[in-house]
Structure 1
Amino acid sequence: MAQLFFSPHATAGEAPLPEVAVAPADPSLLRDTIGPERAAGLDAAVGGLRSVLGARRVIDVNSTTAGGGVAEMLYRIVRYTRGAGVDARWFTIEADPTFFALTKRLHHLLHGQDAPGPPLDTHAGAYYAAVGERNARALLRSVRPGDLVTLHDPQTAGLAPALRRGGVRVVWRSHIGSDAHNEFTDRAWAFLRPFLDSADAFVFSRARYVPGWLAERQIAVIQPSIDPLSAKNRPLDDHAAAAIVRRMGLRAGGRARERAFYRRGDGTVGQVRRRPVCLYSVSPPPAEAPLVVQISRWDPLKDMAGVMSSFAAGAASLDGAHLALVGPDVTGVSDDPEGGAVFAQCVDLWGRLPLRSRSRIHLVCLPMADAEENAVTVSALQQQATVVAQKSLAEGFGLTVTEAMWKSRPVVASAVGGIRDQIQHGVHGILLDDPHDRVAFAAHAGGLLQDPGRAAALGAGARRRALEHFLDDRQLCQQSALYQSLAVA
């Protein structure tokens, strides 16, 4: 078992917490996508929030600025909130690798899965409390009494007691959870409950994630969403997408010294200059080869290795297709200590495959240095995919599924967590009842490759579903309603 050694210099000290710079964006920009009726509802919601807040601010706190769906979502929601005239801020906590090893174990336990890691004993509780207290004290240098602060996920729960003592209204939002509560979820909640008892309200992505001890508390169920105007989701020319995918080494062909251009959010022309940080590939897939793509963090619950094994074993239905497993640079996600080990396991498995299988499977780590370039690269890969996979063993919500649906891609995904809220089987995509069933995964993916008409129909249904339910205006309205209820309480 790993031991915890708290150092008073390992977390935030007396200096304020780092604030993430976010430029405002007017929510009216969404009008052309969502239509005038929804735009009017959004304007009323954020206008109502603005009027009740007065000088008070809304503040989000999480553990990292990059490398996952929460960070991407916060950037978008904060920028639209600021654009609506609300004083919105975003801060990140500071902690050492030992702390993130502890919170990663809590992450797995909240998903209902056991995992190795530090024991959740009294020493761990004291250490976690000390990290939370120091970060809260640092945050209170930038936060005023009466401000509304949303703390995201297990990394931040320890800030709640000190923030409440400082007169701040506290919301804790969990982006993860499990439909089936078991001994592992119970263990995580027993650890976190003393820190969360002081929070004013709680947000979950699914009602079934709410633990029983919160039954009498203020709960909001708010599903994550995507921004149709972000670099990852705004329209990308097919030629540009193909050029970007070729630059990533995932398509053969193209001209010598071909350049991959795209339009940045500020209207200027950008160029994808960076190549993958890591690429394990015998040779690029032929230009005409069907491409199955899973884009995820290198997390054991995303089951990248299981996707690879399924694909390698499904030779009959997947013959001629190629698989790309794509994730972030494992050094670029500070709060996920497992990324390097999971990627190394995938590389080891890839190296032991027969050459015939290995030549059709490609492992890619994308650079994180330029967030917009990373996002447009992900967009190009999703757009160029014949089938998008998300064979997670557990999933809080699964924004990579939403992103693929918005791009009209047929998706084969596990029927776990929030993925089940997004996809109706056979209408918006294909759901795998058992995420461990590698034979069924290969059969479903292969079936879509062999039936382009069905794949196109599922993609069209997916696009409609994303438009109706999973764009940022819906989340902004729900969030505004929650904050208004707290502001007038």
Structure 2
Amino acid sequence: MPLVHEVQAQIRSLERFVPLLGQPAVDEARNLARWLFERLAGGVIWNVNSTAVGGGVAEMLHSLLGYARGAGLDVRWLTIGGSPDFFRITKRLHHALHGERGDGSPLDEAEHAVYASNLCHNAVELRELIRPGDVVLLHDPQTAGLAPTLLAAGARVLWRCHIGADETNDDTELGWRFLARYLDVVRVMIFSRETYVPARYRDGRASIIQPSIDAFSAKNIDLDDLTVRSILVHVGILEGPPPPSPHYGFSRSDDTPGRVERSADIVRLGRAPAWETPLVVQVSRWDPLKDMLGVLRGFSAMVENHAAPDVDLVLAGPNVRAVADDPEGPAVFDSVYRAFLEEPPAVRVHVHLAMLPTADVEENAVIVNALQRHAAIVVQKSLHEGFGLTVTEAMWKARPVIASAVGGIQDQIEDGVSGVLLRDPNDLDTFAGELHRVLADRALAERLGAAARERVRQRFLGVRHLVQYGEIIGRLVAA
């Protein structure tokens, strides 16, 4: 069975951004693509990562590749495979680069042997597709070990790291030492924040590109209230029955009609919330660094310690059996479930743990879209965060966001202007107080939401992202 699979990206037109950004910004992107096409002289730009579903990297690749292809570039996407031990090691690396211990397992020569062996098998298949002179953009620790082999085969290799820590510690040093033997030969690297760049690569090879969202994807396209309500009732998040005429439909990236067919797996004590019930929502992977457990406990503190309005909490993530490169998902969900059972009934009746279907990527995306749009507050109480695209998504939907002041979240939210930043993610009393404050002040919530959407329009849409990638690849090809 092959390890490497190609992911199809639908062609998308940059013209749809004109009403948001203006014609000059779109023309700049198109002209850069034309110039790069000529310099590549028939070469391909390959993106390589470990999964086509689940997480912000996969979401960005679906949209960015579509717009790049729409601008005339031959851009393609491959995913690699690996054993459970391989993904356990890469998850350990994921935690280490965030400055966390994860499962505490070593990153020694035995781990190198597993890591390198898995990537060697992938490299054999990749070399059948990638030609000398092609550009290969490797994403994150899962693919870093491919760099030496692809460089030796004549490819132009860049490595893109979407994660990192603002401060170094023993774990970050351990993670970067593990990756160094594979990355030291790479001359072009891309990070999301300057503070994420390790000292050994602050020699001119690192560039900074902040992530972005696609305003026209199923995850972010405008939905009216009837559609939002229909979707959330259908999947089981809100109480039904749905409106008389079903409105589960949405437009896919290839402009064909889609429809929400699947339901979510939901754990709750009582009934689903009514349409009128305010929702506090966090949408993320079931990852300990996302701190779903802390969100649950902070919400519980608000219910018990404040004169809170009638409000429910929805913790939503992918179905834990559907994301192959995240072996921690089931254990994290189980820990949140056990904490849910320990809460008093007066709290549990307001809490809903939702595992969203992921078999259809765009169906999953429009469910998340509807849930974020319906939220009274969107939370992202991460302990560490590479960037935090769920924050960007909620801001684009003009939702008030309460999020931890960690990683790239700090670059998105201006505290008190376009959202609320939690200086200490572990301070649950402060978190509970901020939830109560924003829930109780509708004018504040609306002001924060309006400023949030404008900030995303100016700084975090895909055209800017594509131009930055194009400029960096252009310099590499011209060198």
**Shorter-chain TM-score: which interval?**
over 0.9
Relative to structure 1, is the Cα distance of residues 281 and 44 closer, same or farther in structure 2, using a 3 angstrom cutoff?
farther
- What's 1:289 paired with? 277
- Could you say which residue in structure 2 is the equivalent of 1:112? 99
TM-score (norm 2): 0.97
2:60 corresponding residue in structure 1: 73
Does the alignment pair 1:406 with 2:396?
Answer: yes
Give 1:453 shift. 0.3
Unaligned runs of 5+ in 1: 1-11
2:147 corresponds to which of 135, 149, 160: 160
Please, which of 20, 36, 44 is the counterpart of residue 7 of structure 2? 20
SS at match of 2:146: helix
Out of 98, 108, 112, the position equivalent to 1:125 is 112
Partner of 1:156, secondary structure, is helix
Paired with 2:66 and 2:326, the residues of 1 have a C-alpha distance of: 25
**Shift in Å at residue 410 of structure 1?**
0.3
Q: What is the aligned partner in structure 2 of residue 300 from structure 1?
A: 288
Aligned to 1:353: 343
Structure 1 residue 318 displacement after superposition: 3.3
Identity %: 46
Output one character per residue of 1:41-96: Cα deviation in whole Å (capped at 9) or x when no partner: 21222222122111111110000010111011111111111111111110011101
SS of 1:151's equivalent in the other structure is: strand
Secondary structure of 2:141 counterpart: coil
- Partner of residue 8, structure 1: none
Q: Is the 8 A contact 2:29 2:467 kept in 1?
A: yes
Say whether the 8 Å CA contact 1:16–1:142 is kept in structure 2.
no
Cα separation, partners in 2 of 1:233 and 1:126, compared to 1, 3 Å = same
Residue 271 of structure 1, aligned match among 244, 256, 259:
259
Of 347, 352, 364, which residue of structure 2 is paired with 1:362?
A: 352
> How far off is 1:317 after superposition?
4.8
- CA distance in 1: counterparts of 2:127 and 2:16, whole angstroms: 33
Matches within 5 A, 1:152-191: 152-191=139-178
CA 255–133 in structure 1, closer or farther in 2 if over 3 Å, else same: closer
1:202-217 alignment runs, 5 A limit: 202-217=189-204
2:18 aligned residue (17, 21, 31) = 31
Deviation at 1:200, TM superposition (A): 2.5
The equivalent residue for 1:85 is 72
Given candidates 422, 426, 435, the residue that maps to 1:432 is 422
Show the counterpart of 2:446.
Answer: 456
Counterpart CA distance in 2 for 1:254 and 1:456 is 29
1:198 aligns with 2:199: no
- The residue that corresponds to 1:331 in the other structure is 321
- CA–CA distance in structure 1, aligned partners of residues 307 and 221 of structure 2: 33
The aligned amino acid for 2:177 is A
The 1-side partners of 2:459 and 2:119 are apart by 35
Distance 1:363 1:210 in 2: 36
Shift of 1:314: 1.0
Instruction: Report what 2:383 is aligned to.
Output: 393
Count of equivalent residues: 476
Q: Which amino acid aligns with 1:240?
A: T
**1:270 Cα offset (Å):** 3.1
CA contact (8 A) 2:127 2:153 kept: yes
Alpha-carbon distance change, 255 to 152 in structure 1, aligned in 2, over 3 angstroms: closer
Q: 1:268 to 1:126 in 2, by over 3 A?
A: closer
> 1:418-473 CA deviation, whole Å, 9 max, x = no partner?
00000000111000000001111111111111000010000000000000000000
RMSD: 1.5
| SS of equivalent to 1:51 | helix
**d(CA) in 1 for partners of 2:312 and 2:134?**
51
1:230 to 192, 217, 226: 217
The answer to whether the Cα contact below 8 Å between 1:62 and 1:156 also exists between their aligned partners in 2 is: yes
Q: Which amino acid aligns with 1:283?
A: R
Query: How has the CA–CA distance of structure 1 residues 208 and 313 changed in structure 2, closer, same or farther, with 3 Å as cutoff?
Result: same
Cα deviation, residue 257, structure 1: 7.8
Contact 2:161 2:192 in 1 (8 A): yes
Tell me, what secondary structure is at the counterpart of 1:112?
coil
